[in-house]
Amino acid sequence: MTVKSPLFSIVIPTRNRAHLLPHALQSALNQQFDDYEIIIVANNCQDNTREVVHNLANNRVRYFETNETLTMPDNWEFAWQKARGQYVTYLCDDDALVPSALATIAKEALHDTPPIVSWQDAIYYYPDWNDHSLKNILLLFNFGNQLIEDIPANNQHQQLAHFNFLWSAPIPKLVNCVANRDFFENYRKQIGKLFFPIAPDYSFAWISTQVCEKIRVINRPLSVRGISDHSIGSNAALGAAAKEFFAEFGDFDFFSETVNTLPLSINHLAATFARCNKQMAAKNIPVKPFNTQSLYIALAKQLAECRNLLTDWLSHAQLLKNNVSDQFPALIKQINTILLEPPAVQSTESMRDMHKRIRLMALEYLPNIDIAINHHSGALACGLSSLALKDEILSDKTWSYLYVFGEEIMAHTIYAISTHVDRYYDFLVHCKNKLKVSQ
């Protein structure tokens, strides 16, 4: 008997992270939509991953294990082949889906069967994040004035090629998009694979922004990207989680395809893009290169930000300058300026302390409250929130972004925080619109 393919496949690749997996899986199980499956691929896990899945799973969950340790790109490739849905998305085991995610995509974005639909992330800092000022805080951005946009794929490709994208941008990395399985399976067969070392998410983005004409974007957060010390990409891929990840590649030459050996996440992306292009060109698929001068500028900026994370920072800086002098001597002045800039002064005030300070300032002169309410067209909640008089949130003056404090809403996990995203994002948009009317 033929099994009907679901509309969506949520694919969760995982390796020895049973302490994180339950929250991602709960968010996948908690969708306000029925036509989907969940694929969990345990990459030779040596912890209690199987037990965690068994305790939470229902009949929509399909569980697979590898009998040897695969690199992350190979595990993602293996997982892709297990998916049966018309549209596929990947959910990292330290991330979460918003409950309305699949329902929103199905209702708003699939009417003409687009090859890809992406969205921007909400950002959540885990309670164990090393920056105490951001622990257990959700960060939401105002994403746009219309819900659905079709953006030329080349626009997003140019952001990648010049390394000037935001990490939470709606560039389709498969962890923030749904991809039409038939469309991309055709390219997978041509190219040989969709996920290249060392960054499978960005290899998918690099390929998809070249083979698609347009990227459909939903301008609201449908997933929550978790940032913790367990995150491979945190701290410019220089943390303990990244080192463990790199070790799984054995003696693989990470930088054989790029212009230098700086151990920074931007450089790993450049090497990933180069590997994709090499394979695509070999299969006679037209490719667009990345901009090497832009790469050097991006590397200089990231190196400057990582001054305190690299014990041999000076030698890395000199290596970068030597490379630039050899290839683009006219660029060396700009690189030197970036590297010589004093590090940004880090505020010692946490978001919660800032919230208290703004509140006290507002209460020192009570007419501030009426002024703020009037400034928001009479919207009481918006006016109070702008003065930090609501316990759980802190916004900027223009309502471009909003911090939500997990403790104040009794949310202490990424799954719990994901259930509040829709409510607070709608509030953010509402208050921004009220502010516009008053101006």
pLDDT attached to residue 1: 47
Contacts 24+ apart (CB under 8 A), 141-147: 141/168, 141/221, 141/400, 141/401, 142/399, 142/400, 142/401, 142/428, 142/429, 142/432, 143/119, 143/219, 143/220, 143/221, 144/217, 144/219, 145/219, 146/219, 147/108, 147/218, 147/219, 147/220
First to last CA, the chain: 62
| Separation of alpha carbons 408 and 421, rounded Å | 14
Beta-carbon neighbour count of residue 33 at 10 Å? 16
Under DSSP, is residue 105 helix (H, G, I), strand (E, B) or coil? helix
Contact 118, 209 (CB under 8 A): no
Q: Is the distance from CB of 139 to CB of 120 less than 8 angstroms?
A: no
What pTM was estimated for this model as a whole?
A: 0.94
Which residues fall within 8 angstroms of residue 366, CB to CB, at 6 or more apart? none
**In whole angstroms, what is the distance from residue 137 CA to residue 306 CA?**
23
What is the predicted pLDDT for the residue at 145? Answer: 85
pLDDT tens digits for the chain (439 residues)?
A: 456 899 999 999 999 999 999 999 999 999 999 999 999 999 999 999 999 999 998 999 999 999 899 999 999 999 999 999 999 999 999 999 999 999 999 999 999 999 999 999 999 999 988 888 899 999 999 988 899 999 999 999 999 999 998 888 899 999 999 999 999 999 999 999 999 999 999 999 999 999 999 999 999 999 999 998 777 666 555 666 777 788 888 888 888 888 888 889 999 999 999 999 999 999 999 999 999 999 999 999 999 988 888 888 999 999 999 999 999 999 999 999 999 987 766 667 899 999 999 999 999 999 999 999 999 999 999 999 999 999 999 999 899 999 999 999 999 999 999 999 999 999 999 999 999 665 5
Tokens, residue 230: 């367990």
CB 404 within 8 A of CB 424: yes
Q: What is the DSSP string of 47-92?
A: SSHHHHHHHH--TTEEEEE-SSPPPHHHHHHHHHTT--SSEEEE--
3-state secondary structure of 158: helix
- For residue 342, give the amino acid letter: P
